[in-house]
Structure 1
Amino acid sequence: MLPRAVIAALLAGSAALMAATDQARQSPPPSSAAGDSAGASSETPPLPRPALHSEEALDLPGLHNLVAFHEEVWSGSAPAGDAGFDSLKSLGVQTILSVDGALPDLDRARARGMRYVHLPIGYDGFEQARKLQLTRAVRDLPRPIYIHCHHGKHRSAGAAAAIAVSLGWLTPDEAAARMKVSGTAPGYAGLWRCAAESAPIAAALIDATPADFPERTMPGSLVAAMVEIDQVHDRLMLSKKSGWIAPPEHPDLAPLADAGRLADLYRLLDDEDRLSEVPASQRDVVREWFVREGRTAAHLETLIESMDRPGQDTDQARERASAALATLSSDCLDCHRRHRD
């Protein structure tokens, strides 16, 4: 047996060792100033999230016009390339809800662990059945949720507003105020109406809506798109004749929504599936034509939208819009002579 003095010395040494160990655990590891600086420079600062009461839309790398309609439901533009999807990932987005007609970039979303849902709507608004689908998706799917169209100003804002009212998050007036922050143009009467006429929807009615949300909703064929282009063009001609407002005999016409739809149709036609319906010998020429007409249609949309801006020379905008539509009409006839007639 060890002498008492030896045992006491061992116990004292053990206590000192335990105290030193506890102190080491509680103290941060030593580091040089250079090491601290290097560590700080390697960290990427977190991106700011859209604030519900912000009066300005937020722009981030690859994303534009971000506006909050709920703490975790945001509207904005289509994510552009890796930068846009990286920004969504940094924001913590779990679900991306596209209301645009273009097919979503599923690969980039999946690579970052995000789910895509594709429920397109028009520039003239959407039916109750689509509103129920959108509302259930936002109510049930993981958040934060990012709702986008193409530019992030009109359709995504209109959808987000209707959803927020349907779920009781905002009143119609509050939702309309958020649409104004998004920059939704007054001429998109159908989108404004969808928000204004929305009301909280009973949970049972939302529950009865199917929850099999598609990742992609395939657009129609090339022939169907060309038929719709002709129809939209005819409506624009009627609006032009009445000074770019809905004529009395057709009060349901909305020239701004029609111009937006025309630009959207041309953008959707620049797609391999649609172009596969064109003879291979003509494919490159037709693609160039779609791209060119899409730019002209987008310019027409911008001109019509500008007519509602304060201080705008409305007469000049009308003349330029008429010239843009005349270019589209002439190009259509020329294309038909070359490739269809």
Structure 2
Amino acid sequence: MKNRRDWMFVGCLLCISVNLLAEEPRQSEPLPKPGELNLCPLGDREGVHHLHQIDPQLFSGAEPEGETGIATLAKLGIRTIVCVDSLPPSQAIAEKYGIKVIHIPLTYAEITEDSKSKFKAVLESQKKPIFVHCHHGKHRGPAAAAIFWQIMRKGSHEDALKILETVGTSKEYQGLWRDVSNFSPDQLKPVSADELVADASEPGFAHSMAIIDRFFLQLDKDRAADWKRTNPEEKLTSAQYALLLKEAFREGHRLLKPDVEYRHLVKESEQLCGELEEALKAKQLQKATQLFYKIEDGCISCHSDYRD
């Protein structure tokens, strides 16, 4: 076993060295055997943070920062970018480097069956290597990449979860861990390549509000039950719903233009949700209730002043 670990370590070093020196796309790196995981952390590069090679044909990381980030990906040989964040990178800039952008936005709560089916369609119709990214490159992106890897290499759930562990995906996002752990290719449906688009953004903040409303209503049920879960089939805790609500406000804030008058109120709600999450984790239920009402009052006030 020691020799095997040594060889794995040497292999990872070689993987990193090749990528550090790469100025041109790699053409002939041997592909792994079915089920084999070749996971190599590559660190931060110019314009691309939290970069990981999951497979010679598959990378994950944070949002590429403008043309600098796209150029870095081009040097690594990337031919397709799959964005699972709310905001996709510029297709026009990517095209300058021979890279195609596919946008399949995810929430922090789950990876839908439709999204998984689109992942398979990407693998069947788009050029490789593929770079999968979210905003920070730690949660949604690696979870999506773990599904990509399972489709590509018919890998095990255990190895797919190692991707999340290595990259640092928070276990607070239980829906992401669940969907990677329970993935089955039998669930996938055919998707036409025409359905893969460069910008699948929903109509701005209105879509974020629908997600916010969903998580808020669940927290309202929990609050009404004195923060005692009444549905035994519900897997997420109240604290985890507070986290998802915080992320929904954060994504909504990112979608709003800087001159929108109520943008600061959305940011305040995000911060209150973070405090609510911590109060629930600490079992400070009275404080949690007070924070919930602050969030609710903020929503009512904002709707009264700004809603069309």
TM bin, normalised by shorter chain, reads 0.7 to 0.9
Instruction: Tell whether 2:296 aligns with 1:329.
Output: yes
Amino acid at match of 2:203: G
Match of 1:198 in 2: 183
User: Which residue of structure 1 lines up, in the alignment, with residue 213 of structure 2?
Assistant: 230
Report the Cα offset of residue 233 of structure 1.
2.1
Distance in 2, Cα, partners of 1:151 & 1:61: 15
Give yes or no for contact 1:98–1:119 (8 Å, CA) kept in 2. Answer: yes
* Larger deviation, residues 219-228 vs 189-198: 219-228
Question: Structure 1 residues 300, 177: CA separation in 2 closer, same or farther (over 3 Å shift)?
Answer: farther
Structure-2 change in CA distance of 1:166 and 1:108 (3 Å): same
The answer (yes or no) to whether the contact 2:38–2:54 under 8 Å persists in 1 is yes
Aligned with residue 79 of structure 2, among 90, 94, 102: 94
Counterparts in 2 of 1:1-341, with a 5 A limit? 46=22, 52-54=38-40, 56=41, 58-200=43-185, 208-212=190-194, 213-220=196-203, 222-239=205-222, 247-249=229-231, 251-253=234-236, 254-255=240-241, 256-268=243-255, 270-271=256-257, 284-290=260-266, 292-293=267-268, 296=271, 299=274, 314-315=281-282, 327-340=294-307
Q: Give the TM-score taking structure 2 as reference length.
A: 0.72
Q: 1:97/1:326 Cα in 2 relative to 1: closer, same or farther (>3 Å)? A: same
- Cα distance in 1 for partners of 2:142, 2:284 equals 26
Report what 1:14 is aligned to: none
8 A Cα contact 1:172 1:198, kept in partner: yes
**Are the aligned partners of 1:236 and 1:258 in contact in 2 as well (CA < 8 Å)?**
no
Look at both structures and tell me which one has the larger radius of gyration over its CA atoms.
1
In structure 2, what is the Cα distance between the partners aligned to 1:267 and 1:174?
33
Cα distance between partner residues in 2 of 1:334 and 1:179: 39
- How many residue pairs align between the two structures? 272
* Residue identity opposite 1:94 in structure 2: R
Q: 1: CA distance between counterparts of 2:94 and 2:225?
A: 45
In structure 2, what is the equivalent of residue 20 of structure 1?
Answer: none
Task: Return closer, same or farther for 1:164/1:45 CA change in 2, 3 Å cut-off.
Answer: closer
Kindly report the root-mean-square deviation, in angstroms, between the aligned alpha carbons of the 2 structures.
Answer: 3.7
Unaligned runs of 5+ in 2: 1-19, 27-36
- The 8 Å contact of residues 48 and 63 in structure 2, kept in 1 or not, is answered as yes
How far did residue 236 of structure 1 move? 3.2
Q: Which runs of 5+ in 1 are unaligned?
A: 1-43, 273-282, 308-313
Task: Supply the AA of the counterpart residue of 1:75.
Answer: S
Amino acid at match of 1:137: V
